[in-house]
Amino acid sequence: MTENIHGKVVVITGASSGLGEATARLLSAGGAIVVMGARRLERIQALADELIAKGGQALALQTDVTRNEQVKALVDHAVQAYGRIDVMINNAGLMPHSPLDRLKVEDWDRMIDVNIKGVLYGIAAALPHMQACKSGHIINVSSVAGHKVRPGSAVYAATKHAVLALSEGLRQEVKAFDIRTTVISPGAVATELVDSITEADVAANVRKVYEIALPAESFARAVAFAISQPADMDINEILFRPTRQEI
């Protein structure tokens, strides 16, 4: 699984917990250089220190993905330190589910800002570097909610449908530059994501659904699968669920 991973410079947003953290660990173990962004600097710095202590190469930079200039700074930092960016993983996200009639407008705004604009800012930051060297790989994180809408998940699902649409448009546009694009749509995975739900009753229901959740390494393995393919093979979409997840 470490084939084509060793030595790659991989930028990961939302690396301070859950899927991003697990991915940083797995890719670093495979010899990748990981450049991690998130708002909780102490967490990503501790992870970078841990990966370096194990013989890896890692950097942490405080990044709020709702700030275009901070996402650009994260990617530029990687390019300055290591000469290039091979993989951009637009992973940061949140899922404050609630029925629309509760009018949680602030939650809607945050989801749109982080889940959609954050991904766009990641694309904006990475694309010029990748186009200049005519290689690279952009991995966006959608969800099963990018394929299915359920009561209480309308806004989150809308943001994750948007990530699918952006990824498909990106795929078609960057072919000429030999840039690969992958969109990964996980089902339930045990992370801190449910903690982002601000309505107690909704959170309690989602926690029941998440009793069958997969460990975060499941997502990291999907990322490693996509990255480890030879350069002429582009894994465009991966959708996975816990075996026991029905919807």
Instruction: By CB under 6 A, name the binding residues for ligand NDP.
Output: 13-20, 38-40, 63-66, 91-95, 114, 141, 143, 186, 188-189, 191-193, 196
**Please, what is the minimum distance in Å from the beta carbon of residue 94 to ligand NDP?**
5
Distance of CA 10 to the CA centre of its chain: 12
Residue 4 or 13: the one with the smaller Cβ distance to ligand NDP is 13
**Please, what is the minimum distance in Å from the beta carbon of residue 160 to ligand NDP?**
7
Q: Classify residue 61 as left (phi > 0), alpha (psi -120 to 50) or beta.
A: beta
Residue 64 or 86: the one with the smaller Cβ distance to ligand NDP is 64
**Please, what is the minimum distance in Å from the beta carbon of residue 164 to ligand NDP?**
12
Structure tokens at 236: 């465009």
Residue 66 or 135: the one with the smaller Cβ distance to ligand NDP is 66
Residues taking part in catalysis: 156
81-120 residues labelled b (16+ CB within 10 A) or e (exposed): ebeebbbbbbbbbbbbbbeeeeebeebbebbbbbbbbbbb
DSSP state of 213: P
